[in-house]
Amino acid sequence: MTDERAVLVSAKTKKVDEKYQMSVIAAGMASVPLAFVWQQVQDFEALKKASDRVEEVSYSKKEQELYLHLSALDYHARMTLKLDFKEEEQGNLISWKVIRGHFVGMKGHVLLKRYALKKTEMSLEAEHSSTELPLPKILLGFGLEVVTKAVAKSLRSYIEDQYKSWSRTPPSSVQR
């Protein structure tokens, strides 16, 4: 990925054997160390601050379930995701699957990978297969790309702003 400021998004839908298959891929670079990004993305309440498209968030640490209420183009989606965290030295992975709501059955992962000392590559992959589309046709394809890109840019900006504040007065719980 050469353009560090780019947020690349691809959303595709096709019909195969009477089923719709939807895939979303997003990737971007943040000028923030991996450890800091990993800490920030686990603060799910920050999703509300990072994007005006997220209306409600709640997370059960015990059940590792994340509830999201999203809105875009007058469409509202509510879903509960089951999360699985894997922490590694060169990269961290959050695997997820929607277990309740509009996108039930959708699954994917968020990968955070060390790119350099103060750069983290962030990517998201999602796939969904069902006999009906989880979104109205107006939100598929181009609309889904635009919404995903807007949320990704907002989230990256939020994390980088948090890092700037933290760099001035680092809390004792986070190590550089």
Domains parsed from the chain with CATH numbers: 7-168 (3.30.530.20)
How far is residue 40's CA from residue 47's CA, in Å, rounded to a whole number? 10
Average pLDDT, the chain: 86
Return the half-sphere exposure (C-beta side, CA atoms, 13 A cut-off) of residue 20: 17
Asked whether the predicted pLDDT for residue 5 surpasses 50, the reply is: yes
Using one digit for the tens of pLDDT, what is the confidence trace for 116-155? 889 999 999 999 998 888 777 767 777 778 878 888 888 8
Segment 84-105 mean pLDDT: 93
Asked whether the predicted pLDDT for residue 68 surpasses 60, the reply is: yes
Q: Which of 13-17, 23-27, 35-39 has the lowest mean pLDDT?
A: 13-17
60's tokens: 């059960």
Specify the pTM: 0.84
Which residue has better confidence, 174 or 43?
43
In the chain, beta strands by DSSP E: 7-16, 19-30, 54-60, 65-72, 75-87, 91-101, 107-116, 119-130
The DSSP 8-state label assigned to residue 139 in this structure reads G
The share of the chain scoring above pLDDT 90, in percent, equals 45
CB 14 within 8 A of CB 20: yes
- Backbone conformation region of residue 105, classed left if phi is above 0, alpha if psi is from -120 to 50, else beta: left
Asked whether the predicted pLDDT for residue 33 surpasses 90, the reply is: yes
Give the 3-state secondary structure of residue 34: helix
Give the 3-state secondary structure of residue 104: coil
How far is residue 67's CA from residue 53's CA, in Å, rounded to a whole number? 14
Asked whether the predicted pLDDT for residue 101 surpasses 80, the reply is: yes
Asked whether the predicted pLDDT for residue 42 surpasses 80, the reply is: yes
127's tokens: 């796939």
Asked whether the predicted pLDDT for residue 87 surpasses 80, the reply is: yes
Q: Which residues pair with 37 in a beta bridge?
A: none
Which residues lie below 8 Å from residue 16, measured CB to CB, with a gap of 6+?
none
